[in-house]
Chains A and B, each alone.
Chain A
Amino acid sequence: MLLLSRSEEIILAAIWKLKIEAYGVTIREQIYNDIGHYWSFGVIYKTLKKMVRKEYVRRFETDPSSERGGRAKYVYELTEEGVTCLAEIQKINADVWAGITDLTYAKK
Chain B
Amino acid sequence: MRKNRYKRINKGNVPLFGRLLLRLLMPTDDYREFIGNLNEIYLKTRQHSSALFCWFWCWIRVIESIPAIITETVSWRLIMLSNYIKVAFRNLKKYKAYSFINLSGLAIGMACFLLITLYVKNEFRYDTFHNDHDRLFRVIRHYSNSFGQDELLVGGTPAPIAERMIDEMAEVENGVTIGELNGILTINDNDLREVGIFAGESFFDMFSFVVLAGKPKESLNKPFTIILSKSLSEKMFADENPVGRVFRFTKLKNLSRGPNEKEEYDVTVTGIFEDVPRASHLQFEYIISLATVASTPGNEQRLDSWGMSHYYNYVKLSNPEPGAELVKMLEEYTDRFRKGDVGKYILQPLEDIHWNEQVVDDIPGHGANSLKNAYILMSIAFVILLIACINYMNLASARFSVRLKEIGLRKVIGAEKMQLFYQYMGESLFMSVFAGLIGAGIAVAALPYYSLLVGRELHWTEFVSFSSLGILVLLTIIAGTISGIYPALFATGFKLVAILQSRGSGSKKGSLFRNSLVVVQYGISIFLIASTIVVFRQIQFIKNSDIGYNRENIVVIPLQNYGAIGKNILEDLKANSSVIAVSGSYEIPLTLNNVSHYSKGDKSISVYMSGIGYDFVDVFELEIVDGRNFSREYGRDKETSIIVNEAFVEKFGLTDPVGKLMKPSDHEVIGVVKNFQQSSMRQNIVPMFFFLSADKDTYITARISPDNIPETVSFIEETMEKYSSESNFDYWFQDEYFDKIYKSDQRAGQIFGLFAGLSIFIACLGMYGLASFSIEKRAKEIAVRKVVGASSFEILIIVFRPFLKWVVIANIFAVPAIFFVMNKWLQEFIYKIDIDVWIYILSGLIGIFVTILAVGYQSYRSATSNPVDMLKCE
Interface residues of A (CB under 8 A from B): 23-25, 28, 40-43, 45-46, 49, 64, 67-74
Contact = CB atoms under 8 A, between A and B. Distances in A.
A45 B36 contact: no
B68 interface: yes
B682 interface: no
A70 B32 CA distance: 13
Given A67-B40, A73-B36, 9 more contacts: A24-B33, A24-B34, A40-B61, A42-B64, A42-B65, A42-B68, A42-B69, A46-B69, A46-B72
Contacts of A64: 5
B8 A45 contact: no
A6 to B, nearest CB: 15
B202 interface: no
Nearest to B37: A24
Nearest to A73: B36
Interface in B1-56: 5, 8-9, 30, 32-34, 36-41, 43
B71 interface: yes
A41 B36 contact: no
A45 B72 CA distance: 9
Interface residues of B, number: 23
Interface of B: 5, 8-9, 30, 32-34, 36-41, 43, 61, 64-69, 71-72
A69 B39 contact: yes
Contacts of A45: 30, 33-34, 65, 68-69, 72
B68 A40 contact: yes
14 contacts: A23-B37, A24-B33, A25-B37, A28-B37, A40-B61, A42-B66, A42-B68, A42-B69, A45-B72, A49-B30, A64-B5, A71-B9, A71-B39, A74-B32
Contacts of B8: 69-71
B206 to A, nearest CB: 68
Contacts of B65: 40-43, 45
Nearest to A64: B5
A49 B72 contact: yes
Given A24-B37, A45-B30, A49-B30, A69 B67 contact: no
A45 to B, nearest CB: 6
Contacts of B37: 23-25, 28, 41
A68 B66 CA distance: 24
Contacts of B32: 72, 74
Contact of A71 (B5, B69, B72): B5
Contacts of A43: 65, 68
Nearest to A65: B40
A43 B39 CA distance: 18
Given A41-B65, A70-B8, A24 B30 contact: no
A28 B33 CA distance: 14
Nearest to B44: A25
B33 A74 contact: yes
Sorted nearest first, the 7 A-B pairs with minimum C-beta distance are A42-B65, A42-B68, A24-B37, A40-B64, A74-B33, A46-B68, A46-B72
A25 B44 CA distance: 11
Given A25-B37, A41-B38, A72 B71 contact: no
Nearest to B63: A40
B786 to A, nearest CB: 52
A68 B64 CA distance: 23
Given A40-B61, A64-B5, A71-B5, A25 B68 contact: no
A97 B30 CA distance: 37
Given A23-B37, A40-B61, A45-B69, A69 B30 contact: no
Contact of A68 (B40, B61, B68, B69): B40
Pick from B8, B37, B69 the residue with the most CB of A within 10 Å.
B37
Contacts of A70: 5, 8
Contacts of A68: 36, 39-40
B384 to A, nearest CB: 49
A41 B61 CA distance: 7
Nearest to B33: A74
B151 to A, nearest CB: 76
Contacts of B68: 40, 42-43, 45-46
A40 B66 CA distance: 9
Contacts of A73: 36
A74 B36 contact: yes
Contacts of B72: 45-46, 49
Contacts of A28: 37
Contacts of A25: 37, 40-41
A24 B64 contact: no
Nearest to A47: B68
Contacts of A42: 64-69
A68 B5 CA distance: 12
Contacts of A49: 30, 72
A92 B144 CA distance: 105
A69 B13 CA distance: 12
B21 to A, nearest CB: 12
Contacts of B71: 46
A70 B43 CA distance: 13
A96 to B, nearest CB: 27
B464 to A, nearest CB: 46
Contacts of A40: 61, 64-65, 68
A49 B67 CA distance: 15
B33 to A, nearest CB: 4
B36 A72 contact: yes
B612 to A, nearest CB: 96
Contacts of A74: 32-33, 36
B10 to A, nearest CB: 11
